[in-house]
Structure 1
Amino acid sequence: MSDPERLAALIGRIGRGRHGSRDLTRAEAADALRALFAPEADPLQLGAFLIAQRMKGETAEELAGFVDAARATIEGCGTVRHPEAVDLPCYAGKRRAPPLHLLAALRAARSDGIPVVIHAPEAIAGRLSAVAALRALGIDPAGSLAEADAMLRTRGIALLSLDRFCPPLARLLGLRPRLGVRSFANTVARLLNPLGCGGQLNGFFHAPYGARMAAANRLLGQPRALLFMGAEGEPELYADRQKLLLWLRGEQPEQPLPCPDAGCPPYPRAAATPDALRHRLQQLHDGAAPDAREAAVLARMARAFALAAGVGGWG
């Protein structure tokens, strides 16, 4: 059976509505995405598959299969492991407050000796991406996984652009404006962990993704992961209203962790310009005193990095 024929059959299975659709196995999900990554893939089938999955909802098995397919396109993926490092996927960007998780990552690497791998898209419409924010601080993305590996070993921090290390998945992410809705590509990117870090900090926006991503991480063999509803969908803890903080270690069920209100002003509601967010990040990076909310977030993120790295606890 040809790829288009197999895809048509799989689309038929997942696209039969709430009560008629059937989930794919991990192998079927990997095979489907592999075929859709191909340059000759039918754009109509690609759109149909993405929308059908959006309507049905991805299972942990399907997410693991999609990650398998995406990792298979990344040169060098799986050849290096960094059990002591923390993976920090940043796929939402910021528009209301500076990306304090990035400042916390730099502090974890430089002051606490915790290696951190940050990966993100080059740009996010209307938001400040991690790549753009870190470029402003003098950190450019590595050109390959091998270069990122060397960067991590020598500097303690590595930055990767999804557009460079996994172009097929970046193309799927770029379809959001045309599709009108997000697709599973966003969640898959968050689960990639391209340098095999032993720890992971993973933020998400919608509560149902917590348990789903935890289950997918178990299937993928992720040793340690802290998953939480992050500020604007980024891997940044709130100071005022943190919800759904899940700790995953090995094969054990995920464990909810407490994160009480720090008694700070609420997270900003008004949008700011990317330039304003970049400027505030630069100020904090250069030694400006954080306000009460920023200080509370940075303290919580320091604990989160230590926990994910396996060198600290939460209580």
Structure 2
Amino acid sequence: MTEHAFAEYVRTLGRGKRARRSLSREEARDAMEMILDGKVEEVQLGAFLMLLRVKEETPEELAGFLDACRKRCDDSLADFPAVQLDWPSYAGKKKHHPWYLLATVLLADQGIRTLLHGGPAHTPNRVYTDELLPALGLKVASSVDQAAEHLEEQGLAYLPIEQFCAPLSYLLTLRFYLGLRSPINTLARSLNPARAPLSMQSVFHPAYIALHQGAAELCGDRDLLLFKGEGGELEIRPDARTSITGIRHGEALEGAVLDNLMPRHAPPGSPNAEALKQVWRGETKDEYGENAVIQTVAVALWGLDRAENLEDAQTRAAELWASRDRSRL
């Protein structure tokens, strides 16, 4: 019986303590291409992902995975309209309202075309972007062509990962069976499928920031802003000090900080879109939510060179919020 071709990658990661090692970038690319092509058995897939999880993936491994997946993204989105901002949204919300969605609308109203992308629900008791957008009167695409139409109509579009790199959609659902996140969660956030000039990425754990940044540098990405967002989504917490790192114009970014604007805030505990509409329309006030929107928009404006520095970006974002079209939602 001939050994399966994928067995070598599992063996490399799972050998004894002294013999095991991380994959090279080329090995990681080849392994991911086999996974994307459906050439890996289920038992191998589970072992591979969990061995990486326990070992902790390296920037080289993540870069190799990106090499394989971005080819699929390029093919799927070859004729997609240009966007300015990449907005991965895979974490979902558990305690706070999804204020980041108002940030994307405010940016879209300034002509900043944004592609949001996310995966299937994979963690219990969380509410995901594709569930929330329709409640705001915004559309969720069921195809790449439809996303292009939504981008023209709304200034933003949400495209499920199954539409541009379908195998990753299934891999994200394996959390139900494995009980743990896998490197696929990190990979999906890093895709930037439409090759937007600026990508913003949020992480649950600050330790993953170096992984995201290291892989992006290896892949030649020039503008990437990383921060610990609320619940893992791209949303600045106004009640916490937020460090922003990443890559800015091809150089490593350090020392950018947004100070907290208010004391620690108790979350409502049940995220919903109705609260967002009421605040957007000015029917009710929410200090935490409005500042979350303003701070999040400020980071995007700065990253896109719409402001000279973060302080100016915050001022500009506050002006945009005050003058928003309240009939939009």
TM-score normalised per structure 1: 0.89
Equivalent-residue separation in structure 2 for 1:227 and 1:91 (angstroms): 15
| Candidates 114, 118, 136, aligned match of 1:120 | 118
Equivalent-residue separation in structure 1 for 2:199 and 2:180 (angstroms): 26
SS at match of 2:6: helix
Q: Please state if 1:91 is matched with 2:90.
A: yes
8 A Cα contact 2:121 2:173, kept in partner = no
SS at match of 1:87: strand
Equivalent-residue separation in structure 1 for 2:10 and 2:159 (angstroms): 32
8 A Cα contact 1:17 1:56, kept in partner = no
Against the structure 1 CA distance between its residues 217 and 146, is the aligned structure 2 distance closer, same or farther, given a 3 Å change threshold?
farther
Against the structure 1 CA distance between its residues 123 and 290, is the aligned structure 2 distance closer, same or farther, given a 3 Å change threshold?
farther
Against the structure 1 CA distance between its residues 154 and 139, is the aligned structure 2 distance closer, same or farther, given a 3 Å change threshold?
closer
**Partner residue in 1 for 2:174:** 175
8 A Cα contact 2:235 2:293, kept in partner = no
8 A Cα contact 1:247 1:255, kept in partner = yes
Displacement of 1:223 after TM fit? 2.5
Question: What value does the CA root-mean-square deviation take over the aligned residues?
Answer: 2.3
8 A Cα contact 1:93 1:127, kept in partner = yes
Equivalent-residue separation in structure 2 for 1:242 and 1:174 (angstroms): 32
8 A Cα contact 2:53 2:183, kept in partner = yes
Equivalent-residue separation in structure 2 for 1:212 and 1:262 (angstroms): 29
Counterpart mapping for 1:206-217 below 5 A: 206-217=205-216
- Could you tell me which amino acid in structure 1 is paired with residue 279 of structure 2? L
Displacement of 1:271 after TM fit? 3.1
**Partner residue in 1 for 2:319:** none
8 A Cα contact 1:76 1:146, kept in partner = no
- Could you tell me which amino acid in structure 1 is paired with residue 310 of structure 2? W
Q: Please state if 1:266 is matched with 2:262.
A: no
Displacement of 1:260 after TM fit? 1.3
Percent identical across equivalent pairs? 32
8 A Cα contact 1:89 1:202, kept in partner = yes
**Partner residue in 1 for 2:22:** 23
Against the structure 1 CA distance between its residues 117 and 15, is the aligned structure 2 distance closer, same or farther, given a 3 Å change threshold?
same
Against the structure 1 CA distance between its residues 310 and 219, is the aligned structure 2 distance closer, same or farther, given a 3 Å change threshold?
farther
| CA deviation vs aligned residue, 1:281-313 (integer Å, no higher than 9, x gap) | 232343334322112211111211112223223
8 A Cα contact 1:264 1:293, kept in partner = no
Displacement of 1:188 after TM fit? 0.7
Against the structure 1 CA distance between its residues 297 and 19, is the aligned structure 2 distance closer, same or farther, given a 3 Å change threshold?
farther
Q: Please state if 1:284 is matched with 2:279.
A: yes
Equivalent-residue separation in structure 2 for 1:306 and 1:177 (angstroms): 37
8 A Cα contact 2:70 2:193, kept in partner = yes
Equivalent-residue separation in structure 1 for 2:297 and 2:16 (angstroms): 44
Displacement of 1:78 after TM fit? 6.1
SS at match of 1:208: helix
Equivalent-residue separation in structure 2 for 1:204 and 1:71 (angstroms): 20
**Partner residue in 2 for 1:53:** 52
Displacement of 1:136 after TM fit? 1.3
8 A Cα contact 1:26 1:64, kept in partner = yes
Displacement of 1:236 after TM fit? 0.7
Of 188-197 and 144-153, the range deviating more from structure 2: 144-153
**Partner residue in 2 for 1:137:** 136
Q: Which runs of 5+ in 2 are unaligned?
A: 312-329
**Partner residue in 2 for 1:298:** 293
| CA deviation vs aligned residue, 1:227-286 (integer Å, no higher than 9, x gap) | 001101111111112343214114312323112121244252x632x5xx2221232343
Q: Please state if 1:5 is matched with 2:1.
A: no
8 A Cα contact 1:88 1:235, kept in partner = yes
Displacement of 1:160 after TM fit? 0.6
- Equivalent residue pairs, number: 308
- Could you tell me which amino acid in structure 1 is paired with residue 78 of structure 2? T
Q: Which runs of 5+ in 1 are unaligned?
A: none
**Partner residue in 2 for 1:42:** 41
8 A Cα contact 2:93 2:231, kept in partner = yes
Displacement of 1:12 after TM fit? 1.4
Counterpart mapping for 1:215-226 below 5 A: 215-226=214-225
TM-score normalised per structure 2: 0.85
8 A Cα contact 1:204 1:210, kept in partner = yes
Displacement of 1:122 after TM fit? 4.0
Against the structure 1 CA distance between its residues 200 and 288, is the aligned structure 2 distance closer, same or farther, given a 3 Å change threshold?
farther
Equivalent-residue separation in structure 1 for 2:145 and 2:221 (angstroms): 21
Equivalent-residue separation in structure 1 for 2:81 and 2:107 (angstroms): 16
Displacement of 1:118 after TM fit? 0.7
- Could you tell me which amino acid in structure 1 is paired with residue 134 of structure 2? R
